[in-house]
Amino acid sequence: MALPSMKHVEPTKLTKNSKFKFRCHKGVKCFTQCCSQINILLTPYDIIRMKKRLGMTSEEFLEKYTVMDIEEKTSHPFVMLKMLASEGKPCPFVTPEGCTIYEDRPANCRYYPIGQASMRKGGEQGPEHEEFYFFIREPHCLGYQEDAEWTIESWMQDQGVDRYDEVNREWKEIQLRRNLPGDALDSNKQAQIYTACYDMERFRRFVFESRFLDIFDISQEEKEKVRTDDIALMNLGVKYVKYLLMLEETLKVKEEHKKK
């Protein structure tokens, strides 16, 4: 998610039916100011859309446009968009005319000025995920003075972020995992998670050039999809990460490789 200063986050939890007024366009004086000095977390689907838009491989995109860090509570690797080093630390894709990759901009840019959060809560049927929303009101933002009225749900649909949420849903579940004391991931497992989630071409090579398909029982139909479809590959990567973290038995090991 984009990480605004907490002093700009309204503490009220909102639902998809919550209403607000907002509009961003070239006519507002603050146009593109929200595209500087901000931390933007990139999801696997963000990277797929952006690297295709730019005609790059995942590896090229990750090297040029991102920085990797480790999340303290989970020890998972995560990827942030790299801001330019120039004054104001602007997004590399923003110009005075707006976003140059607007149709393929990240999910959290689409959500703005709404923030989204997920939490894990206990229930009779086991842990459940709760999603909620909040307003981001930065002092420079004049969009709230516009007359266009929305619910959060209609805003999501208008900005196309509902598709991003659908594709990223399984990946988001992994982000809710928390380490047990003394159970941080080692560097080898972190590297595997990074590749499976973010570096599509490298993960595809791993699937087809290692013993992956000898060990795991993957249908012929899924193999063919994974060979050419990045979304199918992303879904397989999420399954693999869940298997590595022992969150779910998402992959089936072939009988001859099961421990006796």
- Each residue of 117-144: pLDDT tens digit? 877 665 444 445 678 899 999 888 999 9
Buried b / exposed e along 78-115 (16+ C-beta atoms within 10 A): bbbbbbeeeeeebbebbeeeeeebeebbbbbbbbbbbb
Q: How far is CA 200 from CA 10, 192, 233, in A?
A: 36, 12, 7
* 3-state SS, residue 254: coil
* 3-state SS, residue 169: helix
Q: Return the structure tokens found at 144.
A: 């709230």
The domain locations on the chain are 2-175, 187-257
Q: What is the spatial distance between Cα 78 and Cα 33, in angstroms, rounded to a whole number?
A: 25
Residue 44: what pLDDT? 97
Q: Using one digit for the tens of pLDDT, what is the confidence trace for 163-217?
A: 999 999 999 888 887 766 667 899 999 999 999 999 999 999 999 999 999 999 9
Q: Averaged over 109-114, what is the pLDDT?
A: 95
Q: What is the spatial distance between Cα 13 and Cα 133, in angstroms, rounded to a whole number?
A: 6
Full DSSP string of 70-109: E-TTT--EEEEEPPPSSTT-B-TTEETTEETTGGG--HHH
Q: What is the spatial distance between Cα 235 and Cα 203, in angstroms, rounded to a whole number?
A: 12
Q: What is the spatial distance between Cα 193 and Cα 95, in angstroms, rounded to a whole number?
A: 34
Length of the chain: 260
- Confidence bin at 155 (pLDDT 50/70/90): very high
Write the DSSP symbol of residue 247. S
Q: Averaged over 138-152, what is the pLDDT?
A: 94
Q: What mean pLDDT value characterizes the chain? A: 89
> Could you tell me how far CA 73 lies from the centroid of its own chain?
17
53, 76, 173, 219: CA torsion to nearest 10:
70
Buried b / exposed e along 225-257 (16+ C-beta atoms within 10 A): ebeeebebbbbbbbbbbbbbbeeeebbeeeeee
